[in-house]
Structure 1
Amino acid sequence: MNHGTSPVAAVTGSSGLVGAAVAAALGAAGWRVRGADRVAGRWTGVVGDLRDRRVRTALLDGSTVLIYAAALHAPHVGRVGDEEFRAVNVGATETLLHDADRAGVRRIVYISSTSVYGHAMVPTDRTVWVDEALRPRPRDIYDETKLAAEQLVAACPIASVTLRIARCFPEPPPVLATHLLHRAVGLSDVAAAVTRVAGDPVTGVFTIAGPYPFTRADCPALFTDAAAVIAERLPEVAAAFRRRGWRLPETIDRVYDSSAATAAFGYRPRYGVQRITGPPWSGRPPDTRTGWCRRSS
């Protein structure tokens, strides 16, 4: 493809793990990528704060699609004041959307988090099945501001899609393996999902998670005896846990469901628990630089 005539994808947060991975995937798919971040990076051509009008102008001028990955995240809760969360995650979003409309941007992809479901993911008598029908119940300032930003994106006159990304930050292998059963997603799958929707007319809100072996009918059993369900559905994974001396979870609180994204735009996650448990473990942790992104949910 002639990159001189390729459409331009403006990516915020392009020096972060998520933004950089998304930018790389878009570049490989033929987009011209223009990244903006407060710190320099491989894909960041505009260095500065999005609250600066000059930064927004440099990012948006001539861009076709805006990929919005920049935000204060869950690890910042308690370290950054609530007003700063609102200024960055909500105020800057509102201003950037306004400027994107004026600049003629034709599409917005907002990268949100499954964390917005908040208290709704707390189980009572069964594992919670988390899909787009579950009503978010924010539990902290991060959840509140991400949900508020989602609402701004939905109300914007530009066609948009919001992707609620599952948990994906580096953790010890036993923890990663457990989370890959029901609540984690690989960075490569995140990047693939964003690349798909960047050029697709689909709109709405979608949960983006990993490939899990469970169904909604499993929720009662997953809450009372998750280990037995895992052993039945994934005997090779259960055996790998035993071989490594890792404990299977006795209960699972939630399972994320990406089937709406699969139906709407062909999202098919590939980074599953077998990426951790597949061959006998060598004693070295998996490479977390390419498989995982720093986001808590």
Structure 2
Amino acid sequence: MDDERLVAVTGSSGRVGEAVARGLATAGWRVRGGDRAPGPCTQVVGDLRDPRVRQDLVRGAAVVVHAAALHAPHVGVMDDAEFRAVNVDATEALLADAAGGRRFVYISSTSVYGSALVPVDRAVWVDEALAPQPRDIYDETKLAAERLVAAGPLPSVVLRIARCFPEPLPVLATRLLHRAVRLEDVVAAVTGVLTHGTVTGTFTIAGRYPFRRDDCVALHHDAAGLIAVRAPDVAAAFRARGWPLPARLDRVYDSGAATDAFGYRPAEGVLSLLRGE
């Protein structure tokens, strides 16, 4: 019999997995973390390719949140077979072992959109209607895992999260205008999914941006001018620091489907970063 408040989180010693484990615990869930590396949120230490590790992790859990993976920085460092073994084969095995639970949440990446993110004459508006075009082994294996999860034995949610790793402050501030997400918002998305217990599907999870779909041509040709109009406080904050506004933005991620499905509302915009919040 599963414990309806017990969540198994893979990758719980990593940046996203640990944040999710902490956030769910704060929200009142019982969390059991699993990772190859020890960590403060990790109770089961071992490789997910080991059946005993998987079974110890998911035993009795109502929900599995699967964040463990090889990531984009591993491309060219780890061979393709390792990517497939970790990102695809281990996900398939985890799905089988978790089949007695109630839900499966897979942490994917907006990177799966791949070559579809390259603009031609306007910025690309990125939502779930955009067809993924994987461009490397990371994209390929994350998309393959998404498809396994969607076809798996449990009701599932796939969260394609935007860029959320540390970068120099001026770079991160620019990314948060259109294609990055604060880690706190990723945690809020996972928590929102678990709170809305019947939602399923694939969702893009990004930050709070000032743009609209019909801004895409202007973003391609004069992003700085549009930012000054749509977000004058942001433009002023950049000027105060001596940072140039970007002349062109190549894409904008849209989390509207997640907002409609489970109330996701990114709270952490670029101004909160610049204010040190």
TM-score, normalised with respect to structure 2: 0.97
* Residue 123 (structure 2) pairs with residue 127 (structure 1): yes
- Please give the alpha-carbon distance, in whole angstroms, between the structure 2 residues aligned to 1:198 and 1:24: 14
> Is 235-244 or 8-17 further displaced after alignment?
235-244
From 224, 235, 239, the counterpart of 1:238: 235
- Please give the alpha-carbon distance, in whole angstroms, between the structure 2 residues aligned to 1:8 and 1:244: 46
What's the offset of the Cα at 1:106?
0.8
Unaligned runs of 5+ in 1: 279-285, 288-297
1:22 match: 20
What's the offset of the Cα at 1:6?
6.0
Alignment-mate amino acid for residue 177 of structure 1? A
* Residue 255 (structure 2) pairs with residue 225 (structure 1): no
Check whether the contact 2:4–2:62 (CA below 8 A) recurs between aligned residues: no
Alignment-mate amino acid for residue 99 of structure 1? D
From 161, 164, 168, the counterpart of 1:165: 161
2:109 match: 113
Flag as ranges the 4+ runs of structure 1 deviating above 4 A. Answer: none
Check whether the contact 1:6–1:32 (CA below 8 A) recurs between aligned residues: no
- Please give the alpha-carbon distance, in whole angstroms, between the structure 2 residues aligned to 1:276 and 1:194: 21
1:146-170 deviations in Å (ceiling 9; x for gaps): 0000000000020000000001111
From 258, 262, 265, the counterpart of 1:265: 262
- Please give the alpha-carbon distance, in whole angstroms, between the structure 2 residues aligned to 1:251 and 1:224: 6
1:226-263 deviations in Å (ceiling 9; x for gaps): 00000001111111111111010000000000000000
Check whether the contact 2:164–2:182 (CA below 8 A) recurs between aligned residues: yes
What's the offset of the Cα at 1:184?
0.5
1:47 match: 45
* Residue 133 (structure 2) pairs with residue 137 (structure 1): yes
What's the offset of the Cα at 1:194?
0.4
Unaligned runs of 5+ in 2: none
Check whether the contact 1:108–1:158 (CA below 8 A) recurs between aligned residues: yes
Alignment-mate amino acid for residue 259 of structure 2? T
1:179 match: 175
2:274 match: 277
Check whether the contact 2:33–2:41 (CA below 8 A) recurs between aligned residues: yes
Check whether the contact 1:67–1:110 (CA below 8 A) recurs between aligned residues: yes
From 156, 159, 166, the counterpart of 2:152: 156
- Please give the alpha-carbon distance, in whole angstroms, between the structure 2 residues aligned to 1:187 and 1:258: 15
- Please give the alpha-carbon distance, in whole angstroms, between the structure 1 residues aligned to 2:118 and 2:175: 16
1:103-122 deviations in Å (ceiling 9; x for gaps): x1110000000000000000
Alignment-mate amino acid for residue 276 of structure 1? L
* Residue 205 (structure 2) pairs with residue 203 (structure 1): no
1:136-187 deviations in Å (ceiling 9; x for gaps): 0001000000000000000002000000000111111110110000000000
What's the offset of the Cα at 1:277?
3.2
TM-score, normalised with respect to structure 1: 0.90
State the superposition RMSD in angstroms: 1.1
Check whether the contact 1:241–1:277 (CA below 8 A) recurs between aligned residues: no
- Please give the alpha-carbon distance, in whole angstroms, between the structure 1 residues aligned to 2:229 and 2:19: 35
Question: What percent of counterpart residues are identical?
Answer: 69
From 179, 184, 190, the counterpart of 1:188: 184
What's the offset of the Cα at 1:192?
0.8
- Please give the alpha-carbon distance, in whole angstroms, between the structure 2 residues aligned to 1:159 and 1:6: 15
- Please give the alpha-carbon distance, in whole angstroms, between the structure 2 residues aligned to 1:121 and 1:236: 28
- Please give the alpha-carbon distance, in whole angstroms, between the structure 1 residues aligned to 2:64 and 2:194: 8
- Please give the alpha-carbon distance, in whole angstroms, between the structure 1 residues aligned to 2:247 and 2:5: 49
| SS of residue paired to 1:64 | strand
